[in-house]
């Protein structure tokens, strides 16, 4: 089954404790992306990746890091989480190609930083 | 990437067609119009996309005006399960994946 898998689904952590949210896709998609969603603000893009070792900032990259060492994985790293990073996070993948672009989203990771 | 404007909320009676408008007056020639929806806090789900021709699939129809400055997503026979937030976005299909989601339209389908 084609899917994007995020882990964990729920996470409560303390300020300053480094964490990683994993994202994996099994569709051999070139593009992957991370979003955060906050009430009243919709979905905002954090980082995106066009291929292995190619990443770029989205609209709200501060406080986050990403890496793309393998095509299927795109982890989101919070080196020193703060309470304002409490949010619902989504990973997405998309195939490359003109006219394509259907993005597949994971089920989300609800992060609480206390 | 161009930005979009959508009404914050709409109501629709069950069984009737739901017509969701989107304004994208600054769209570029190589940008596609995509529609997604999000039910509760689940991951957004792709619905349909198009460049300039009208498109139809098993979920919906997409009508794009001739000048491409606006579009309408049509759910032909809305059901209660179509209650969701619907997002219209525009972006290039190649060469990048920077994507701007707006606030979307919250569609309420009522029995």
Asked if B51 reaches chain A (Cβ–Cβ under 8 Å), the answer is: yes
In angstroms, rounded to a whole number, what is the distance separating the alpha carbons of residues A83 and A19? 13
pLDDT tens for chain B, 111 residues: list them.
558 999 999 999 999 999 999 999 988 888 889 999 999 889 999 999 999 989 999 999 999 999 999 999 999 999 999 999 999 988 876 545 667 788 899 999 999
Instruction: Name the residue in chain B with its Cα closest to that of A33.
Output: B97
pLDDT band at A12 (very low <50, low <70, confident <90, very high): very high
pLDDT at A100: 64
Percentage of residues in chain A with pLDDT exceeding 70? 96
Asked if A4 reaches chain B (Cβ–Cβ under 8 Å), the answer is: yes
Q: Can you name the residues that pair with B37 across neighbouring β-strands?
A: B45, B86
Reduced to 3 DSSP states, what percent helix, strand and coil does chain A have, rounded to the nearest 5?
5, 50, 45
Q: pLDDT tens digits for A68-99?
A: 999 999 999 999 999 999 999 999 998 876 55
pLDDT band at A42 (very low <50, low <70, confident <90, very high): confident
Phi-psi region of B22 (alpha: psi -120 to 50; beta: other; left: phi over 0): beta
pLDDT band at A40 (very low <50, low <70, confident <90, very high): confident
State how far residue B31 is from chain A, nearest Cα, in angstroms: 10
pLDDT at A102: 80
Instruction: Name the residue in chain B with its Cα closest to that of A37.
Output: B41
Beta-strand (E) ranges in B26-79? 31-38, 45-50, 55-56, 61-64, 70-75
Whose tokens are 């089920």? That residue is: A107
- Dihedral of CA atoms A44, B79, A110, A47 in degrees, nearest 10, equals -30
- Site from A60, A101, A104 to mutate, B interface, most B CB atoms within 10 angstroms: A101
């Amino acid at each position: 089954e084609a899917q994007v898998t995020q882990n964990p689904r729920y996470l409560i952590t303390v300020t300053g404790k480094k964490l990683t949210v994993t994202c994996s896709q099994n569709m051999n998609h070139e593009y992957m992306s991370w979003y955060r969603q906050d009430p009243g603000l919709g979905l905002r893009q954090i980082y995106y990746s066009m291929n292995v070792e190619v990443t770029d900032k989205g609209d709200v990259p501060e406080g986050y890091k990403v890496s793309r060492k393998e095509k299927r994985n795109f982890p989101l790293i919070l080196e020193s989480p703060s309470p304002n990073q409490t949010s619902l996070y989504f990973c997405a993948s998309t195939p490359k190609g003109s006219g394509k672009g259907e993005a597949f989203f994971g089920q989300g990771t609800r992060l609480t930083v206390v | 990437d161009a930005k979009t404007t959508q009404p914050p909320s709409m109501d629709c009676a069950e069984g009737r067609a739901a017509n969701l408008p989107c304004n994208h007056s600054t769209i570029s020639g190589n940008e596609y119009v995509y529609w997604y929806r999000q039910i509760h806090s689940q991951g957004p789900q792709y619905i349909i996309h198009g460049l300039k021709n009208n498109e139809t699939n098993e979920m919906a129809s997409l009508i794009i005006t001739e000048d491409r400055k606006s579009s309408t997503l049509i759910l032909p026979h809305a059901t209660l399960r179509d209650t969701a937030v619907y997002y219209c976005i525009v972006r290039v299909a190649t060469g990048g994946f920077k994507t701007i989601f707006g606030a979307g339209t919250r569609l309420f389908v009522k029995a």
